[in-house]
Structure 1
Amino acid sequence: MHFFSQAFTYDHSWSHVVIGMWHKYPNPHCTHVQTIDVLDRTVDPETGVIRTERVLGCKQKTPTWIVKFFGGSEDAFVREISFIDPATQNATITSVNLSLSQFATCYERIRYSPVASGKQTAFLQTAEIQARMALWRSAADRLEHWLVQRFEQNAQLGKVGFTDVLQSMWNDAKERHPAHM
């Protein structure tokens, strides 16, 4: 099993970041995310927690050795479940790959929480990547290594893309309502 983790702070309030979450894709930095389908959205009447389940359709260039060894295609699907808690101001998103999950899984967890000032939001992202080929450890290690590299590349693109989305939303809001900014 391989792990990935990154943490940083966005210079935007928690509410702005959470609104931005729903506008993250499409963006020019994350062109691998092609489609987003909302499967379910509910609000807990007692807690106010918003639960959303989505499927993201992605297209990525897959190394030839992976396609030859495991089959499949460049199309991949990811199941994402988010919980937005307005009372505690925490947002948690978990995702797991649906495609080729019989060979490898990538379990990702993201958390957005407000920084004490209220003007910034802490971001924590972790991923556990595990190949499911106990008999072929060298192939499993190669696959996990490639998946971690790909995940890290996409995470960096995601950070840049989301920063641009937030900045664009913030600039648009300033232009529409300058007295409130």
Structure 2
Amino acid sequence: MHYFSQSFNYDHPWAHVVIGMWHKYPNPHCSHVVTVDVVDRSVDPQTGIIRTERILGCKQRAPVWIVKLFGGSEDAFVREISFVDPSTQCTTISSVNLSLSQFATCNEMIRYAPAPGGCTTFTQTAEIQARVAMWRAAADKLESWLAQRFEQNAQLGKVGFTDVLRKLWEEASDRERARASS
């Protein structure tokens, strides 16, 4: 099993980050995510917690040895479930791959929470595990490749989301200034 973890602060308040997360895709930095479909969204009437389930469609070029050994295609799908709690100002997102999950799983957890100075702390962890115990050498190689790909995509995601937040809130500030000056 391979583990990945990172944590950092976005220079935006929690409410801005939560609004931004719904605008993360499409994103030129994360061009591997090609579709986002909301499967279900509900609000708990007692707690106000918003639960959203989405399916992300991705295109990833896999090494030839993976395609030969496990089959599959460039198309991959990920199930994501998020909980936005406005009372605690905490957002949690869990995701797991649906494609080729009989061979490997990637369980990811993300958390957004307020931080001092009007920032938002982002925490991300992932557990990547191959499920081909018969072929330990292939499993190790597969896990290493998946972990490397996950880390690359996580860094692209950070850059892309920072861009989304900047554009989203710069545009809002520009509109507000324009209204104020008219």
d(CA) in 1 for partners of 2:116, 2:86: 16
**TM-score normalized by the length of structure 1:** 0.97
What residue is the counterpart of 1:9 in the other structure? 9
Residue type at the aligned position of 1:155? A
What residue is the counterpart of 2:116 in the other structure? 116
What residue is the counterpart of 1:88 in the other structure? 88
**TM-score normalized by the length of structure 2:** 0.97
Q: Structure 1 vs Structure 2: percent identity of aligned residues? A: 74
What residue is the counterpart of 1:157 in the other structure? 156
Q: CA deviation at 1:176?
A: 0.9
What residue is the counterpart of 2:20 in the other structure? 20
d(CA) in 2 for partners of 1:145, 1:47: 41
Give the match's secondary structure for 2:29. Answer: coil
What residue is the counterpart of 1:139 in the other structure? 138
Structure 1: unaligned runs, 5 residues or longer: none
What residue is the counterpart of 1:148 in the other structure? 147
d(CA) in 1 for partners of 2:33, 2:27: 9
d(CA) in 1 for partners of 2:126, 2:153: 12
Q: 1:71-110 residue pairs with structure 2 within 5 A? A: 71-110=71-110
Give the match's secondary structure for 2:48. Answer: coil
Q: Which runs of 4+ in 1 moved over 6 A?
A: none
Structure 2: unaligned runs, 5 residues or longer: none
What residue is the counterpart of 1:33 in the other structure? 33
Give the match's secondary structure for 1:177. Answer: helix
What residue is the counterpart of 1:68 in the other structure? 68
Q: CA deviation at 1:116?
A: 2.7
